[in-house]
Structures are given as C-alpha cells and as structure tokens.
Structure 1
Amino acid sequence: QFDQTIDYWGGRPHDDAWRAAAEQRIAELRTAPLTIRVNGALGAPVPGATVRVEQVRHHFRFGTAAPAGRFVGTDADSERFRAEVARLYNTVTFENDLKWHDVNPAEQQRIDAAIDWLDEHEITLRGHVLVWNFEVMPPRVRDLDAEAMRAAVHQRVTDQVGLYRDRLYLWDVVNEAVTNTEIWDRIGWDQFPEVFRLARAAGPNIGLAYNEYNMLNDREGHWRRSLENARRLIDAGAPITTFGEQAHQGVPLVPLPRVLELLDEAAKLGLRIEITEFDLGGVDDEEVHAQYVADFMTACFSHPSVDAFILWGFWEGSHWRAGENAAMFRRDWSKKPAQDAWEDLVLNQWWTRAAGETDGAGEFTQPVFYGRHRVTVEHDGQTVQAIVERTPDSPDWVMVSLP
C-alpha cells in the first residue's frame, strides 16, 4: 500500500479496482495453451512421461535504452551492464548513437560492434531517431534553406533506413513533432508523411513509428495534439505502423485507470502502441516508486494494443534522471525495490515454469506466456529436449519423440 501521509497523486482518487480486470486481460492476451505430445520410437503415445516447460524468452518486447559504447567497453561497469541487459531485456534502443549527427569511422565501428553483440544475444534493436529537431542535426544542415534542407532530410531517411534495414525491427521516423516544429515549418508539413513513405521505400519490412512525450502524463493539450498529428499521418496515407508513447512519468502520479483510458484513446488510431522511454522520477520513497512502476507495467502489459515496454535506462551510472531516483539499479549496482518489482513481473509472474506428466493419450497441456520455451521430456531413463516458440500465430502443440 502507498504511504497515505504523502499525496503523490495531487488529490486524485487512486483505488485498486482496475487491477483484477487487468490481470484477467493479461491471462487472455499474453498466454495460450501449449500441448506437448510425446511419442515413442514406433510413434505410439507415451503416457506417464515427465514434462517440464521453462520459458527462455518473451514474445512481448521488454527493453531498455542504452549507449552503444557500453556493449563494447572493457571496464567493469560495461561488463556488468552487458550482463544485466542479456539477463533482463530482449530489446534495446540506442539512446543517442543513431540520432542525426555526422558519424566518424571510429564511431560507426563502435555502433556496428554494439549491434553485433545484440545480434549474438538475440536482442532486437529499435532505431531512434530519423528526424527530430534542429538541435539534433549536424550544424551543416541546420542553416540550409528550405529546398536544401528538404533534400538533406530525404537523404538522411533513405540512407539510415537502408544502412540498418536488416538490423533493426523498427525506426522512430519522427520524434516529438508537437513541440519541435522548426523542421516542418521550414521544409513544409507535407514532408511529415513523406518521410514515412521514404522510410518504407528504403525498408519494406521495418516498423515505422511516430514517437511522442506527455502521452500518459494526462496533459490533455499535448496528447490531443499528438493524436491529431498521428491522425494527420494516417489520413495522408503514410505507412505508419506504430505509435510510440514515451511515458516519462513524475509527480503527481497518474491513476492507473486514467492510464488505461489514455491507452484506449490512442488505440482508436488503429496502430500498434509501444511504451518507448519509461522512467519514473521525483518519487523519493523507493517502495512507492517500486509499486507504481509495477502497476504502470501491469496496466500497459494488459492492454491489447501494446507490444513493447522499454525503459529509458536502468542503471544510475548511465541515466538521464539519476538525480530524481528514476534508475532501478544504484550506482554501485545494488538493486532498488523497483528493480525487484520489474524482475518479479517479467521473470516470475509473467514467466512460464511448469511440470507434469503426460496423460493416457501421451499429452501434457499447460498455459504458457507467449515466447520461447525449453521443453524437457523424461521417460524410462531417456531425456529429450526441444525449443518451442509459442506465439499468437503458432501451432498450439508440439511433438516430442523419444528414441
């Protein structure tokens, strides 16, 4: 329970009535039955075989932002950083490395090596960002006239998407267009949907997102204008697939029923939604911080339009809001309660571990969270293992044959 002597909510009601329905949605949306059929050498069903199912990877994207340099650094902190990323996340966003700037050969080599490390660990990469604002573009571009800047923006989008198109699953094509209007005011708002078309031409199979802030902070003016911008893209026929909601949260806390209402409003666009930059600052009580992180994650994971929950950093030694108690690991790598809460959800409550025996038909059925699972079957001294992907589109059974 929250400490009721401190009003973190700005006087707004914040009961727990939302929770039971959210947990029910999680069971319906994020899990499905998996049947293990065990046969013997001659194809006959094997009753009474021991079956263990253990998840090894989520289908849903749980991720973090990170500097590319941490994936190639040789210092102790970088080594620990990589170990935690490999243990906790299946998706990464480079915090600054893919923003628009002139990349020298050494920096490009570091980025490529970081992506190689992610590939080796089967961690997908989210591209951030193709077009943002004047401050995040090379000085040589900033002072161009409208026609020359338009050409530079086109070249930027085409080159970057083409360069990384087989290495990213999605690009933030445009970031924060509600407040960062300088580029569009100069090159023309008709270019807002056009950059999505250029990105699609360069990357036919990649996800394309419009990313905005203040979407889940309940700041009505901003989120309404963000939805209007997304609708503008859709109405113009832009090939947008995803609406990114940054979710940098603070005090006063937004009640979770309101968070769900805001997600419902965004879902009316008909796009997939990703939580792209979550953090929570300004809550000094670490237990309150942990509880709200867990509740916010639960609300988002329960929503049918949400495909990803990505932090904007997790370690105090590499976090833009370290002074606001937003990181989940302290500088010395000790865990804050929020980190324990994250792990309890992602690696425990929302993680499949099950065991049982096959029935008379040689089958064992178990609800599992969508993702990759290691299935181990034992019978009469024989052991067989199989790796099974259970997704919304996969078969709901797998055959395991004993020798």
Structure 2
Amino acid sequence: MKIKFLLVLVSLFFSLNSCSKEDNDVAETLETPTANAPKDVNDNGFKAKWNYVSNSKSYLLDVSTSENFDTFVANYNAKPVTDLNEVVVGLLGGTQYYYRVRAKTETEISDYSNVISVVTTGSSGIPEDPTFLKVKANKVANPFFVGMAIKASQLTTGSPYDIILKNEFSSISAEYEMKMDQISTASGVYNWSVADKIVAYGNTNGINVHGHALVWHNAVPQWLKNFSGTDAEFALEVKKYITDVVTHYAGKVKSWDVVNEAVDDTDGKMRNTIFLQRMGANYVKDCFQWAKNAANAAGDTKLLLFYNDYATSTNIPKQDKVFSLVDDLKTANVIDGLGFQMHNTYLSPTKAQIETDLNKAVAKGLKIHVSELDIQVNQFNDITTFTNERRLVQKAKYKEMVKIYNALPVANKYALTIWGMRDNESWIPYSTDLNHVGNDWPLLYDSNFAIKSSHTGFLEGLD
C-alpha cells in the first residue's frame, strides 16, 4: 500500500512539473511588437515608439533610409533598447527614414513589427540629380522615349521650355492642340497652323512626335455636334477627318492615339458618346481601320496606332472592358499599342496593381505607352504647402513607376510621357473634373523650371 502511495506521489510530481514547463513555454513565446507613430520629429532625429510585449526583456531597433531595410543608419542595426521608446539622433534634415522593432528575451527574438515612416524636418541640403532624363534613358539596356506634353506657345527658340525639351525629352505629345475641335473647322476644312508648328518642332529637333488624339468625345467640333445628316453620313465625316489628318502627317507623326477614353468609368461598358450613338458599337474598330488604311495608302506602313485610357489599374470592370476592346482590335489587326494615362496619386495605384495592368498588355503583345503620367500629392486638399514628406513620397512613386516601366520586355516598350512641365501649369490643381479645390505639385519641375525630387526619382527608377 505504501509503495502504491509513493508511486502516485511521484507521478503527480512529474505531472505538475511537466505542466509547469509547458506553462512557462507558452509564457515565454513572444508576440510581435507594434511600432507607433514617432514623436518629437526635428531636423536631426525623432523619438521612435512601440507597444509593450509581455515577457520581453528588451527590444531591437532598426532605422533605415530604405523601406526594405537593405541598409541601416549607423548604430541602428538591431540596437538594444530596454524602454518602449528611443530617441534616434544624428540624422539628416528633410530626409525619409523608416523604423521597426523586435522583442527579445534571453533566448528568443520575435518577428519584426510593422514599419513606420518618418520624414525629418528641415532641408536635406542634398542637391537633386541634374542628369538629363533622355541621356540616362538612352543608356539603359532597352531604351525608350521619354515624353513631355506640350503647347505650341512653349516652343519659342531659347525659351526655358525649349531648352528643357531639347535637353531632356525624346518625344512630345500635344496637350490639346492636335485634337479634332482644334484642327477641323468645317467638313473637309482644316486649320493646320498650330499642329504643324508642333510637328515641325519635333521633326526639326529629332524629337519623336506622338499624335494625341484623333477621336475624343470631349473634343468634338461644334459643326460635327450639330451635324444634321444621317448616321451613315456622320460616320463618313469622321472617316474623312481621320483619313485627312493621318495623310497630312504621314511620315511626320510616328504614332497616334486613335480613340481616347471610349470606356465608361462606372459599369465597364462603352462610354455613351456621340460616336457610339451615331456610329454604333463598332465605331472604335472602324476608326482604327480608317487610320490604318490612310497610313498604308500614304506609304506610312510604320505608323503605330494606340488606344488610350485612364484608371484601368484600379477600376477592374473598366480594365476588363478595355482589354476586351483591345482583343477585338487585335483580331482585326489594326492596333499596335495601349496608352495607360497614369494620372496617379502618391497613394494609388499600388505597384502590384500597375504591374498587373501592364502585364496584361505585355501578354497580348502590345506596345505600352505610359502616356500622361503625373502624381498628385494633395488629392484630399489636406496640405497648403509642398511638405518634405509629400516631396519624398512623390519621388518614391515616380521612381516606382519608372522602374516598373523600365523592367518591361524590349518589344513592349514605347514611351513614358509626363503630362506637363511645371507644377503651376498642370491641369490638376483646382480641377473641377477631379473635384480638386486646392493646390497640387504633380510634375517634375516647379514654377521656376527647377527640377524637383520627382525628377531625381525618375532618374533613380532607371538604375
């Protein structure tokens, strides 16, 4: 009986001991800490903060100028900290930094926390990279045109626009002056003067000219809006216009946006334009066929024909409809490329969304034109001056976009075009279309023609 009693006691001892070890094991398992927004940000540093983790004895703090933490700020690579905050010092003003933490016991280290972004106040004092865009773009493994949207009034010899265009850009697109309502004054009657000046400027200076755009619902001349003939006669007027314009610029304009923004934003259907109403569901294909026929008849067999639209990276029904339209045009063998406008913001689209969108065009064997790139930093009208934080995040987004484009296969590259030169002349600030009631700084040059960090970001995207 005594032996049985002792056996029970021994068994109970080992059982309790085992449970105690299991409890300790659970207790010692470290949770991942949560990093919080910084405090006391100044020109030279900030206070990094994070939440308490049970059972941790200390924390390991990383600080980097790279979101990927492929390099570290000196003395901040897994720096041991025993408190729930650390004053980070010795930094540069006006510079983007990132921090993260891990919890630590004597034997265990947790996973990394979330990453916190912080921009120090003041100015970094580091000058922007003055390298000319097209010079660097021409040195990449698979070069492409670097484009700029322009107005004829900017093309005066010796003007700041002229100097920048000749130094930095290898392609131009007319911002508005080569659209239908600017050229066509009546049936078969054309005012070529302004468009001719743009095309001659490009041809004289060895700059590629991209034609924008033959058909757009917001650029219909009044005489055509009021056209009282039959629908068939209306279609013949559009055909005549496309044929005459493509013929007039044969060999001088190397590519055209044949149709611009034909797909609706809300339901993934065709936009209900005058062209759809009067020419029917196949009007886009008809326009492409007329453009191709005109080029061939003029001996311009190398003319590239593009469809151009916006917001396809985030609006999936619209994206699907655009690619359905493209499939129809490819079956008819009348399209060469797709224009992605990319009027982006510093928050959207994401890198993955852009890559998915562009890769669909790659899979279809299309040339890709990032045709109207600008990046808003004040879409919520929440800042009144161009802050360091927005400056740096805009630089990063330009770098990201250029890096994505530069990684495309050589056969799919055409041009990457910036939609305007100076911030103060962009269409975005105070745009009623965007419901943008405040200022913005979306481009590569400020109001004084000085290059911005976004320009440096473009260059870094080519590395």
TM-score normalised to structure 2 length: 0.59
Q: Is it true that 1:82 corresponds to 2:158 in the alignment? A: no
Aligned partner of 1:229 in structure 2 is: 325
Counterpart among 115, 130, 148 of residue 233 in structure 2? 148
How much has 1:266 moved relative to structure 2?
Answer: 2.5
Secondary structure class of the residue paired with 2:457? helix
Contact 1:175 1:212 in 2 (8 A): yes
Where do 1:147-226 residues align within 5 Å? 147-179=232-264, 180-182=271-273, 183-204=275-296, 205=301, 206-216=303-313, 218-226=314-322
Q: Is it true that 1:312 corresponds to 2:395 in the alignment? A: no
Aligned partner of 2:219 in structure 1 is: 136
Aligned partner of 2:172 in structure 1 is: 92
The change in CA–CA distance for 1:325 and 1:56 in structure 2 (over 3 A counts) is closer
What do the CA deviations read for 1:124-154 (whole angstroms, capped 9, x no partner)? Answer: 1000001111x31111101324223211110
How much has 1:318 moved relative to structure 2?
Answer: 2.7
Where do 1:1-400 residues align within 5 Å? 58=138, 59-72=143-156, 79-103=159-183, 108-133=192-217, 135-144=218-227, 145-179=230-264, 180-182=271-273, 183-204=275-296, 205=301, 206-216=303-313, 218-235=314-331, 237-283=332-378, 285-304=390-409, 305-322=412-429, 323-345=439-461, 349=463
How much has 1:102 moved relative to structure 2?
Answer: 4.9
Contact 2:369 2:414 in 1 (8 A): yes
Secondary structure class of the residue paired with 2:201? helix
The change in CA–CA distance for 1:57 and 1:165 in structure 2 (over 3 A counts) is farther
Secondary structure class of the residue paired with 1:308? strand
The change in CA–CA distance for 1:229 and 1:5 in structure 2 (over 3 A counts) is farther
The change in CA–CA distance for 1:266 and 1:16 in structure 2 (over 3 A counts) is farther
How much has 1:229 moved relative to structure 2?
Answer: 1.4
Letter of the 2:456 partner, please give it.
D
What do the CA deviations read for 1:225-282 (whole angstroms, capped 9, x no partner)? Answer: 11111112223x1411111111110253233233212211222222111111111113
The change in CA–CA distance for 1:286 and 1:227 in structure 2 (over 3 A counts) is same
The change in CA–CA distance for 1:345 and 1:220 in structure 2 (over 3 A counts) is closer
Letter of the 2:145 partner, please give it.
R
CA RMSD of aligned residues (A): 2.8
Distance in 2 between residues matched to 1:102 and 1:150, nearest whole Å: 19
The change in CA–CA distance for 1:188 and 1:312 in structure 2 (over 3 A counts) is same
Secondary structure class of the residue paired with 1:81? helix
Letter of the 1:228 partner, please give it.
S
Distance in 2 between residues matched to 1:227 and 1:249, nearest whole Å: 20
Letter of the 2:153 partner, please give it.
G
Letter of the 1:234 partner, please give it.
K
Contact 1:276 1:311 in 2 (8 A): yes
Contact 1:149 1:187 in 2 (8 A): yes
How much has 1:316 moved relative to structure 2?
Answer: 2.2
Contact 2:182 2:191 in 1 (8 A): no
Distance in 2 between residues matched to 1:268 and 1:315, nearest whole Å: 35
Contact 1:248 1:280 in 2 (8 A): yes
What do the CA deviations read for 1:287-342 (whole angstroms, capped 9, x no partner)? Answer: 11011111111011111123211111121243212432112211122222112222
Contact 1:260 1:303 in 2 (8 A): no
The answer for unaligned runs of 5 or more in structure 1 is 7-13, 18-54, 350-403
Contact 2:401 2:461 in 1 (8 A): no
Contact 2:343 2:374 in 1 (8 A): yes
Letter of the 1:243 partner, please give it.
L
Letter of the 2:326 partner, please give it.
A
TM-score normalised to structure 1 length: 0.67
Q: State percent identity of aligned pairs.
A: 19
Contact 1:275 1:306 in 2 (8 A): no
Distance in 2 between residues matched to 1:101 and 1:224, nearest whole Å: 30
How much has 1:63 moved relative to structure 2?
Answer: 0.6
Distance in 1 between residues matched to 2:68 and 2:340, nearest whole Å: 24
Letter of the 2:393 partner, please give it.
V
Letter of the 2:147 partner, please give it.
G
Distance in 2 between residues matched to 1:147 and 1:274, nearest whole Å: 33
Contact 1:177 1:212 in 2 (8 A): yes
The structure whose RCO (Cα within 8 Å, separation 6+) is larger is 1
Distance in 2 between residues matched to 1:68 and 1:137, nearest whole Å: 20
How much has 1:15 moved relative to structure 2?
Answer: 7.0
What do the CA deviations read for 1:57-99 (whole angstroms, capped 9, x no partner)? Answer: 8241111111122113x7xxx7001111111110000111110
